[in-house]
Every structure is written in C-alpha cells, then in structure tokens.
Amino acid sequence: MKKGLFFLAFALIGLIGSAQKSDPKVSTPDPNKKIQIVEAACGECQFKLAGKSCDLAVRIDGKPYFVDGTSIDSHGDAHAKNGFCNAVRKAEVQGEIVNNRFKVTYFKLLKEEKKDDQAAPQKN
C-alpha cells in the first residue's frame, strides 16, 4: 500500500512539474549576446496590434513587435488572471528585429513583483 501511495505521489509531482510548457529552443541564453528586459503580452489584447488571434508580442523601446520563435501558449495560460491577454509581464529576451517582427532566441518570463497594496502597520 505504501509503495502504491509513493508511486501515485511521484506521478503527481511529475505531472505538476511538466504542467508549464517549456520551449527548449528559447530556454538557454547565448552568453555572447546581451539580455534585454522587455514587456511581454498578447499583441492584440494588450498592445493593440492588428491580428486574427492571440499572439505573443514584446514591447521594446515603446514599440510592440510580434514574436517569432516561441508562442503565447508556451508560457502558461494566456487567459489566466496574470496571463498575457490580461496582463503585461516582464521577460528576459535575446533576439533581433527582422521585418518588423522580433525573432527570439531566448525568452524567460520573469516572476511578477508583489504589489504592496497596504502598508504594513507600524509599531510605536
């Protein structure tokens, strides 16, 4: 019985660990190239780019570009509360702009900073 529970727990951990999709071709940075911190979101929903569906885009120096090399669904649920269609997130990227599109070679979504909505009460 204990072995069965152990196996079940191990299987669940494996499923949870693989739940976030990872795109291996953009998961390792090139140490010889500069890493940029950019805003990332759905090009249509957040950056108001013309398109037919929800597609990943980055904003570099105030200008949005659709991304080639990774997809909006490779980085979690785009329609979740903090997903790309509902929030602009920060990401580390490497790549170049070609024909008004960002050709990504490295993409890492950064953790969201916690907003301090209420100041902690001060002790006197």
Q: Look-up: residue for tokens 């009460």?
A: 121
Q: 24-69: per-residue pLDDT in tens? A: 568 899 999 999 999 999 999 999 999 999 999 999 999 999 999 9
Distance CA 107, CA 6 (A): 35
Listed by start position, the domains of the chain span: 20-109
Domain 20-109 indexed as CATH 1.10.490: no
- What pLDDT, on the 0 to 100 scale, is given for residue 6? 45
Q: Do residues 68 and 101 lie in contact, with contact meaning Cβ atoms separated by under 8 Å?
A: yes
DSSP single-letter state for residue 76 = B
- What pLDDT, on the 0 to 100 scale, is given for residue 27? 86
Distance CA 101, CA 120 (A): 44
Joined together, the tokens standing for residue 56 give: 């990943």
